[in-house]
Chain A
Amino acid sequence: AQKITQTQPGMFVQEKEAVTLDCTYDTSDQSYGLFWYKQPSSGEMIFLIYQGSYDEQNATEGRYSLNFQKARKSANLVISASQLGDSAMYFCAMREGIYGGSNFGNEKLTFGTGTRLTIIP
């Protein structure tokens, strides 16, 4: 079974509108982290936002917010006031593991298949 599912292969959104990119996940761990990355055509992976499984508040970073619904196992990314520069591939990812240990950074990331977002002027 897929651990990370992104059901929207592509999306077209008018500039200045808000857009929601869907992500659902599957894990039996109690402690996990959810990430969103942006990948422009240059290929670099740009970290956007993070949500920990124990975080009670939805994460926000500037125009990015994460709509975390734990019971539904969804972690949708919301981009407000979209800009032309937002056109890129967006990947949802999950890290399973135990928080706080000395090897916290060793847990691998599992990525979804991505959504290609195109902002229309």
Chain B
Amino acid sequence: GAVVSQHPSWVICKSGTSVKIECRSLDFQATTMFWYRQFPKQSLMLMATSNEGSKATYEQGVEKDKFLINHASLTLSTLTVTSAHPEDSSFYICSASDGTSGPETQYFGPGTRLLVL
């Protein structure tokens, strides 16, 4: 149980286009989803936290107008990178929480590799 999927697994796009990444909890209801970004050979940096039905909370330094997050249902959150530029190329990972108090309360997706040309 507790499977999180991401789609697509990798995407290549031209500079200036928008890219949408989906994060789905397959067998549980995710009250909260987290979006992380990881540059090569670096750590995961939290971008934003989203709760179903409400606006996402962005971390300091993350442009909310560039990285649009929509948590429309208890099983789906989307991250849209608007007007992508080469510096947005990164590995984007989502995680989902079912709100329980167990130790592994965040389940990670497999990640999406974005390359902006």
Q: A110 to B95, alpha carbons, bound, how many Å?
A: 13
Is A106's CB under 8 angstroms from B97's CB? Answer: yes
- How many A-B pairs have beta carbons closer than 8 Å: the answer is 67
CA distance A99 to B16 in the complex (A): 44
Name, among A105, A108, A109, the residue most crowded by chain B CB atoms within 10 Å (CB to CB): A105
Residues of B close to A42: CB separation below 8 A: 110
Q: A45: CB under 8 A from chain B?
A: yes
Known: A105-B31, A106-B51. A99 touches B108 (CB 8 A): no
Chain B contact-residue range equals: 20 to 34
Bound-state CA distance A108–B46 (Å) is 8
B100:A104 contact, CB within 8 angstroms? yes
Binary flags per residue of A16-46, CB closer than 8 Å to B gives 1, else 0? 0000000000000000010101000011110
A44 adjacent to B111 (CB under 8 Å): yes
Known: A104-B105, A108-B34, A109-B44; 16 extra A-B contacts, CB below 8 A, are A33-B103, A43-B113, A45-B44, A45-B111, A91-B44, A99-B101, A105-B31, A105-B97, A105-B100, A105-B106, A106-B97, A109-B46, A109-B106, A110-B46, A111-B45, A113-B42
